[in-house]
């Protein structure tokens, strides 16, 4: 009988170790190239909510390498200018692939039509119409550095990571494009620009 209990305890230990490895394998699951990544991670929306309060124990998916076109325009400084009377309008939608590995505006990064360059003139009054057909929360803004999503320029923010656009919502923001240079329009929810919601916003003289 003693032997039987020994086998049972070994079986339980093996099951626990295997279960632990499977759990870790899934939580650390990293999308490789185009391969999809099956994961038991909680739904992305919940991750975003957690991320806005505490980043310490939130696992953020590894960013897909950015294919945002490199621009030869030097980075802008973010200065403001008076409006020149010219009006420009654009429409952008927040898109996420079904496996949550790729994000983007109008299409997911790497796909045709994703993150189109927006080129305006300094002083233009720019209206961006935004829609969120994705299943996650988003917010919009123009920044100098997409890795610093909190420094939104020219009152161009639509919603914020703390009070984001919900799935199915739409809206618009109007602002005056400032001093010339290369800027980025991004989703300001932490992690979303790195995952692909990052486009060139070029201000010409
Ligand atoms: Cu977003």
3-state secondary structure of 46: helix
**Spacing, Cα 187 to ligand 1 middle (Å):** 5
Q: What is the pLDDT of residues 21-51, one digit of tens each?
A: 445 444 443 443 333 333 333 344 334 333 3
Cα of 73 from ligand 1 centre, angstroms: 25
* Cα 40 from chain centroid (whole Å): 20
CA distance 10 to 73: 64
Residue spans of beta strands (DSSP E) within the chain = 87-96, 103-105, 118-121, 125-131, 140-143, 170-176, 181-187, 198-204
Centre of ligand 1 to C-alpha 12, Å, is 42
Q: Which domains does the chain have, with CATH numbers?
A: 64-205 (2.60.40.420)
- Output the CA 79–ligand 1 centroid distance in Å: 25
Mean pLDDT across the chain:
78
Q: How many CB atoms lie under 10 A from the CB of residue 35?
A: 10
Give whole-number Cα distances, 168 to 48, 51, 111, 199, in Å: 17, 21, 22, 22
CA 95 to ligand 1 centroid distance, Å:
8
Query: 138 C-alpha to center of ligand 1: Å?
Result: 4
CA of 3 to the centre of ligand 1 (A): 57
* Ligand 1 center–CA 188 separation, angstroms: 7
How far, in Å, from the CA of 190 to the mean position of ligand 1?
8
pLDDT (tens digit, 9 = 90+) per residue, 49-81?
A: 333 344 444 333 444 444 445 678 999 999 999
97-131 pLDDT, tens digit per residue, is: 999 999 999 999 999 999 999 999 999 999 999 99
- Cα→Cα distances 55→4, 42, 52, 152, 181, Å: 46, 15, 7, 21, 32
161-178 pLDDT, tens digit each? 999 999 999 999 999 999
149: CA distance to ligand 1 center in Å? 11
């Amino acid at each position: 009988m003693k032997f039987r209990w020994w086998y049972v305890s070994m079986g339980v230990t093996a099951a626990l170790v295997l279960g632990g490895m499977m759990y870790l394998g899934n939580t650390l699951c990293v999308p490789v190239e185009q391969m999809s990544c099956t994961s038991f991670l909680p739904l992305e929306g919940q991750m975003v909510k957690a991320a806005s309060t505490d980043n310490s124990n939130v696992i953020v998916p590894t960013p897909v390498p950015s294919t945002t076109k490199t621009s030869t325009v030097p980075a802008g400084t973010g200065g403001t200018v008076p409006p020149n009377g010219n009006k420009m309008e654009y429409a952008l939608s927040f898109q996420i692939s079904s496996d949550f590995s790729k994000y983007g505006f109008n299409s997911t990064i790497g796909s045709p039509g994703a993150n189109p360059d927006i080129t305006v003139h300094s002083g233009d009054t720019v209206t961006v119409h935004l829609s969120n057909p994705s299943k996650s929360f988003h917010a919009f803004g123009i920044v100098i550095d997409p890795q610093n999503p909190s420094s939104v320029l020219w009152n161009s923010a639509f919603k914020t990571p703390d009070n984001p656009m919900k799935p199915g919502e739409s809206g618009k923001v109007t602002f005056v494009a400032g001093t010339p240079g290369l800027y980025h329009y991004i989703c300001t929810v932490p992690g979303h620009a790195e995952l692909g919601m990052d486009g060139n916003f070029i201000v010409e003289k």
